[in-house]
Amino acid sequence: MLILSLDTTTRYGSVGLVSERQLLAEINYLSPSTHSRQVFRALSTLLKIAGKQFDDIDGLAVAVGPGSFTGIRIGLSLAKALSLASGWPVASVCSLQALASKLLLPGIKMISPIIDARKGEVFACLYQIENSRLQEVVPAGAYEPEKFLAMIPGSEPVYFIGTGVDLYLPFIKERLGPRAMITDRSYYLASEIGQLGQALLSQGKGLKPGEIEPIYYRPSQAEEKRTAKAKK
């Protein structure tokens, strides 16, 4: 099964091809604004490098959030259009889970992916590793950094990853001290999204275009404005 994977949820844009849980090719780029131009160029380059055609692809995996509202919408619109045109089933993958999957390594028991949500908040959760699988300890959501870190239990080292870690690193170290383990893995997720997506598709959990839903965890700025206007 050949899976096309894509992530536009943060400025770290990424597209990849995964087969039998192995990454065949990946194109990564840093987007200064939106992904609308870069992601199409990346897809074209990806297929050329891998020597593949769209007809060779069996399914699609897409990061549905959380992250940038604009980025999520671009990724989902592209995934839906590709699925409608090709009939591919789509695997919906949480970007926090994909980030945490980068740290499924021997000796690591607690993982916290954190994505900058702006407005003084982060999208975050805490996973415990059980039998090489991620189990939520603190549920995924939008949090003020202080409140999220206060919810982390126990005395185990916690391995952090994500754009929110870059932003709140001094605060994380101050709050957790030597328990805070900061990693240097990249934030490009096409490989992890493809592997997680392939697992879902192999279990028959692929979605149709109309079934794909974003993960926001809080209202968008436009929705907040509409709500505020309706209250006046």
- Chain segment 168-184, per-residue pLDDT in tens: 999 999 999 999 999 99
* Whether residue 107 is found in the same domain as residue 134: yes
What is the C-alpha separation between 68 and 130, in angstroms, rounded? 30
What is the C-alpha separation between 8 and 43, in angstroms, rounded? 12
- What is the model's pTM? 0.91
* Whether residue 20 is found in the same domain as residue 62: yes
Please, what is the Cα angle at 143 between 231 and 135, to 5 degrees? 130
- What pLDDT does residue 90 have? 98
The residue out of 182, 197, 213 marking a domain boundary is: 182
Domains of the chain: total? 2
- Chain segment 5-29, per-residue pLDDT in tens: 999 999 999 999 999 889 999 999 9
Which strands, in side-by-side order, build the sheet including 90-93? 22-30, 12-19, 2-7, 59-63, 90-93
What is the C-alpha separation between 171 and 47, in angstroms, rounded? 42
CATH of the domain at 128: 3.30.420.40
Which strands, in side-by-side order, build the sheet including 158-161? 133-143, 121-130, 110-118, 158-161, 180-182
* Whether residue 85 is found in the same domain as residue 11: yes
